[in-house]
Amino acid sequence: MSYSTLLFDIDDTLLDFHATENRALELLFEKHGIELTDTVKDNYVKFNQSLWKKLELGEISRQELMTNRFTTFFKKEFDLNIDGLSLNREYLEFLSTGTDTIPGAKDLLSTLKKSGHKLYVVTNGIDFVQERRLRNTGFNSFFDDIFISQKIGYQKPDARFFKNVFNELSEFNPDDTLIVGDSLTSDIQGGHNANIDSIWYNPKLSPIDKKITPTYQVSNLQDILQIVG
């Protein structure tokens, strides 16, 4: 099959969120004079990921996540009462300065753009953070449009997220539209919910969840070129 319309997740698909998150946490903890050990960092990452999973499932709101994640974490980890909303604003500002990319991502987008594919971003996240990171890396120039969950009002994998995206596309055909992402629960399940094909970017060769099966799987971004036609 060939696909003319490609929907790209960005975090850990095109942009290296792990590296950017790591630096943002270091800057945040340094600013407040708190030691950031590897254990503390790992605990935060696991805790934060659990909150985003709850947001995907509709168990908490975005405002609850933004307001409470640092308040809850600092109380649990250090028994400190802090202004979580203020720390969250500082953290997002640090996060938005990231320029870390996944190896091969720029070359892939450049090739796809030159070959006439229509490229779109579909990402869960905070609008100013995602938009600034795309500008910082120059990746925004490859995309026809950028769709961010905060602006749309729904998170991937919610079908309503994709319905809003498809309504904005000038020539949408589900048969030649494909979503590319690293998350089975967000991107690949989102593709299922939206009735479009999917590519799971799986560089670590993690096992597939039998409940969520991608149409295709790649461990190297350049392999996408062989799939999309």
pLDDT of residue 229: 83
pLDDT in the model for residue 26 = 97
Tell me the Ramachandran region of residue 127: left when phi exceeds 0, alpha when psi lies from -120 to 50, beta otherwise: alpha
Decide if 222 contacts 108 (C-beta within 8 A). yes
Could you tell me where the beta strands, DSSP code E, fall in 111-229?
Answer: 118-123, 145-148, 177-181, 197-201, 216-218
Portions of the chain given CATH number 3.40.50.1000: 5-16+101-228
**Is the whole model's pTM more than 0.85, yes or no?**
yes
pLDDT for res 170: 79
Reduce the DSSP state of residue 116 to 3 states and report it.
coil
Task: State the pLDDT at residue 1.
Answer: 67
- pLDDT means per 10 residues, the chain with 229 residues, are 93 97 97 95 95 90 92 95 94 97 98 97 96 97 97 95 94 95 96 98 92 96 95
Q: Is 204 exposed, middle or buried (0-12, 13-18, 19+ CB in 10 A)?
A: exposed
Average pLDDT value for the chain: 95
pLDDT recorded at residue 171: 83
CATH H-level, domain 5-16+101-228: superfamily: HAD superfamily/HAD-like (3.40.50.1000)
Q: Where in the chain is the domain with CATH 1.10.150.240?
A: 17-97
Token pair for residue 144? 């026809």
Q: Please give the Cα distance from 94 to 53 (Å, whole number).
A: 22
Rounded CA separation 214/227 (Å): 13
pLDDT tens column, 96-150: 999 999 999 999 999 999 999 999 999 999 999 999 999 999 999 999 999 999 9
Q: How many CB atoms lie within 10 A of CB 70?
A: 23
Q: Catalytic site residues?
A: 9
Amino acid 25: pLDDT? 97
CATH homologous superfamily for the domain 17-97: Putative phosphatase; domain 2 (1.10.150.240)
pLDDT at 54: 92
Cα separations in angstroms, 45 against 121, 170, 195: 24, 38, 31
pLDDT at 201: 98
